[in-house]
Structure 1
């Protein structure tokens, strides 16, 4: 059985959980408290970060983008990057948009400040960073709305890794109750479609001790 070392509110781990399920690949989840710096885990990934995927009898694979590419090459029956070179380029562009730009402008300012700082013992949340994250998220929701209005899914006609990356980040922020869905109904419609996919539903069962999600979080229809 392959093993995915993860954290429940890591968008990079969530992206891979979606990819594995969309490819109908069985896997075992193991929570890795990376702040503990376990020697056994550092032997798998010296960077000390999740996700890490270990195939049965295989070498450990680290970094969500590298793992996603590995899954696409190794299990090609269900394509997640697109069928043509142009489609794959657009999907990769959007994955980078959310894993880099959204992460820097929104995820770090909200999820890191409100959740991760507590586990790393880095003090209280920075209110200025939280305000900045809440300001930036609206622009990203507008971009999602624009893409989903012009295309069936974010990168084209098929549900792809671009949708998974976007939904992975947004689902973490939604757990905190910080996504202004009512002000962005078109982005909300796209998220409802993602949220209703069987691959996505296990994410809605994740909980962080002492931090329950808002009531709408696990509601497929909001």
Structure 2
């Protein structure tokens, strides 16, 4: 059995979960409290980060590297386009969300409001929370600008770029940190992507101490 070591509110774990589910690859989910730096987990990934995928007698780390491995070994349905220009745009946007969005928004909101409590590292830093709440507006506006020109974030087909964005936004939505009324086009995009069968396990996530908001699993908001 394939096994994915993950944490439910890790957007990087969710990106891999979405890719696995979209490609209909069965996997056992093992929740990993990676910040506790368990010796067995560190043997799987000395970097001490999730996700880690055990598949085909291999142990693989780094969410983007895993997703590209899945694309090469299970090319259908495709999450990376064949033409070089659109493939570049997908990779650019994956990096945008996993680097820029993560640094400016996810770590400021999820990191302060959720992970400080979960990890027992103190109280939220209000300055970081305010910075994250301000930055997410810019990112939602950028997504709206992209989606005003395209059916999906990187072009006319759904790609890994959409899963990267949805992974981060779904984590933030779990704690009601996304203003879906800011952009109707972004809201429609998210409703479309969270209605996919690949999203079902993510919408079923339950995190101790953080109950789901009423709209979280509602496909019609």
Tell me the TM-score range normalised by the shorter chain.
Answer: over 0.9
- Write out per-residue CA displacement over residues 32-53 of structure 1, whole angstroms, 9 at most, x where no aligned residue: 1112211111110011110000
2:136, 2:212 → 1: CA distance? Answer: 19
1:1-150 superposed matches below 5 A: 1-56=1-56, 58-150=57-149
Confirm whether residue 157 of structure 1 aligns to residue 143 of structure 2.
Answer: no
Q: Helix, strand or coil for the counterpart of 1:150? A: coil
**How many Å apart are 1:120 and its aligned residue?**
2.3
Query: What's the TM-score, normalizing by structure 2?
Result: 0.97
**How many Å apart are 1:59 and its aligned residue?**
2.0
2:81, 2:133 → 1: CA distance? Answer: 32
1:103, 1:36 → 2: CA distance? Answer: 21
**Is the CA contact 1:3–1:54 (under 8 Å) kept in the aligned structure 2?**
yes
Give the gaps of 5 or more residues in structure 2: none
1:207, 1:201 → 2: CA distance? Answer: 12
- Write out per-residue CA displacement over residues 71-92 of structure 1, whole angstroms, 9 at most, x where no aligned residue: 1111122211112111110100
**Is the CA contact 1:145–1:190 (under 8 Å) kept in the aligned structure 2?**
no
1:33, 1:55 → 2: CA distance? Answer: 20
Q: Which residue of 1 aligns with 2:170?
A: 171
Q: Helix, strand or coil for the counterpart of 1:61? A: strand
Q: Helix, strand or coil for the counterpart of 2:209? A: coil
Query: What's the TM-score, normalizing by structure 1?
Result: 0.97
Q: Which residue of 1 aligns with 2:208?
A: 209
Q: Helix, strand or coil for the counterpart of 1:18? A: helix
**How many Å apart are 1:116 and its aligned residue?**
1.1
Q: Helix, strand or coil for the counterpart of 1:167? A: helix
**Is the CA contact 1:35–1:119 (under 8 Å) kept in the aligned structure 2?**
no
